Amino acid sequence: MVDKVAIMQHILERLVTPPSGMTTAEFARRADVNRSTIHRIARGETDPALGTLRELAFVHGLDLDLSLRPLSDPDAAAAARVLLDEAMGDYEITTGTRRWISRLDSFADPLDIIDTAGRASAPAERPGAVLLRGDRSALRLSSAGTAAGVPWAVSGWAGLLEAEGVAATSGPSIVWTTDPEATARMLLDTHRRVTSPANAQVVVAPAADAVFVDAWESGPTRLVAPVQILLDCIGLGGELEELARRVAEGWSER
């Protein structure tokens, strides 16, 4: 998986470094940015405004090209589970997860943590995910996971039904797996690939380590932890998102 944090750090380092042959003072003058601000950005002591970054880029003969895209950060879900799930007590927290813990820890309401982290960890948008149309039942997906011979667990539509008895009329199931292509091949006799998450009935997604913490068995089906199921369903959106919120609200009332 591409380390987006490292890429952003590399871009920042390039933007705050004066072009070859130019002093820092001249660089700051041309960008109309204080030298102290450039130094603080370089040391990671301040988050630069977009306008500041663009002015620095102009001096390099560059421009910024910004776009919005769905966020699918596994560290967001892991952070929510560290904050809410006792089973994560021995989980080795990564730098990315720690950043998300800092963001989420200010939320007083656990429902806000689940909602924000779920939206930020959309499984169907995960790089490397395989999107399929076909049988989304836990039994069929479990058969594929077992046949692939790699770690796997079910979530999404099938997970919500198996774990909470809540049946949605729409929304995909998820097979979290360490090898999405190998697992997807076990389904291609009954499923077909699609390119849009909106058309997917099954998402075969690459699993981070945290996904499998506290996974459990229900007959032949291996399910991710209940909190992970709610995070995944919120990340999938639509009816699954609404039902997951209702389940989470029910938990908070117990």
pLDDT, one tens digit per residue, over 174-197 is: 999 999 999 999 999 999 999 999
Instruction: Say whether both 14 and 108 belong to one domain.
Output: no
Instruction: Say whether both 212 and 138 belong to one domain.
Output: yes
Per-residue pLDDT, averaged over 12-18, amounts to 94
- Confidence band, pLDDT 50/70/90 cuts, at residue 4: low
pLDDT tens digits, one per residue of 44-86: 898 899 999 999 999 999 998 888 888 999 999 999 999 999 9
Q: Is residue 51 part of a domain?
A: yes
Closest by CA to 117, choosing from 157, 75, 158, is: 75
Instruction: Say whether both 198 and 240 belong to one domain.
Output: yes
DSSP string, 73-141: -HHHHHHHHHHH-GGGGG----HHHHHHHHHHTT-SSHHHHHHHHHHTB-GGGSTT-EEEES---HHHH
Instruction: Say whether both 55 and 78 belong to one domain.
Output: no
- Say if residues 237 and 227 touch (Cβ distance below 8 Å): no
State which H helix or E strand residue 173 sits in.
strand 173-177
- What is the structure's pLDDT at 1? 44
| Number of domains present in the structure of the chain | 2
202-206 and 173-177 beta bridge pairing: parallel
Q: Is residue 68 part of a domain?
A: no
Burial of 55 (0-12, 13-18, 19+ CB in 10 A): middle
**Pairwise CA distance, residues 41 & 46, whole Å:** 5
Beta bridge partners of 203: 131, 174
Instruction: Say whether both 43 and 145 belong to one domain.
Output: no
With a cut of 60, say whether residue 2 has pLDDT above it. Answer: no
With a cut of 90, say whether residue 8 has pLDDT above it. Answer: no
Coil vs helix vs strand at 216: strand
Give the range among 7-11, 130-134, 197-201 with minimum mean pLDDT.
Answer: 7-11
Q: What is the mean pLDDT of the chain?
A: 94
Instruction: Say whether both 124 and 199 belong to one domain.
Output: yes
- Say if residues 223 and 163 touch (Cβ distance below 8 Å): yes
Q: Is residue 179 part of a domain?
A: yes
Q: Model pTM greater than 0.85?
A: no
Find where tokens 């982290």 sit. Answer: 117
Instruction: Say whether both 80 and 54 belong to one domain.
Output: no
Burial code of 184-205, b = ≥16 C-beta within 10 A, e = fewer?
Answer: bebbeeebeebeebeebbbbbb
- CATH of residue 10: 1.10.260
**Which domain, by its residues, includes 50?**
4-59
